[in-house]
Chains A and B, each alone.
Chain A
Amino acid sequence: MINTIPINYYIMLSTILFIIGAVGVMARRNAIIVFMCIELMLNAVNLLLVAFSTLHNDANGQVFVFFIMAVAAAEVAVGLAILSMIYRNIKSIDIDLLSKLKH
Chain B
Amino acid sequence: MLGYTITQWLFGILSFLAIMFALMVVFTRNPVNSVLYLVLTFFCIAGHYLVLNAQFLAVVHIVVYAGAIMVLFLFVIMLMNLNEDTEPQKTLISKIIAGCIGGVLLVVLVGSLKGAEQLQLHQSGASQIGLVKNLGKVLFGEFLFPFEIASVLLLAAMVGAIMLGKKEIK
Interface of B (DSSP majority class): helix
CB neighbours (8 Å) of B72 from chain A are: 76-77, 80
CB of B37, distance to nearest CB on chain A (Å): 9
Q: Are A58 and B129 in contact, with the CB atoms below 8 A? A: yes
Q: Are A78 and B118 in contact, with the CB atoms below 8 A? A: no
CB neighbours (8 Å) of A78 from chain B are: 157, 160-161, 164
CB neighbours (8 Å) of A8 from chain B are: 113, 116, 118-119
Q: Are B153 and A43 in contact, with the CB atoms below 8 A? A: no
**In-complex Cβ contact of B19 among A11, A17, A60 (8 A):** A17
Q: Are B26 and A87 in contact, with the CB atoms below 8 A? A: no
Q: Mark B11-50, 1 if CB is under 8 A from A, else 0.
A: 1000100110011011000010011001001100100110
Question: Which residue on chain A has the smallest CB distance to residue B105?
Answer: A19
Question: Which residue on chain B has the smallest CB distance to residue A85?
Answer: B164
CB neighbours (8 Å) of A21 from chain B are: 22
CB neighbours (8 Å) of A4 from chain B are: 120-123
CB neighbours (8 Å) of A96 from chain B are: 88, 90
Q: Are B105 and A36 in contact, with the CB atoms below 8 A? A: no
A/B interface sample: 16 pairs, CB < 8 A: A2-B123, A7-B116, A17-B18, A18-B109, A22-B101, A30-B31, A33-B34, A36-B73, A39-B69, A40-B38, A50-B52, A53-B52, A54-B123, A62-B130, A85-B164, A93-B80
Excluding A54-B121, A74-B157, 9 further A-B contacts by CB distance (< 8 Å) are A3-B5, A4-B121, A28-B26, A43-B41, A67-B143, A77-B157, A77-B161, A78-B161, A81-B161
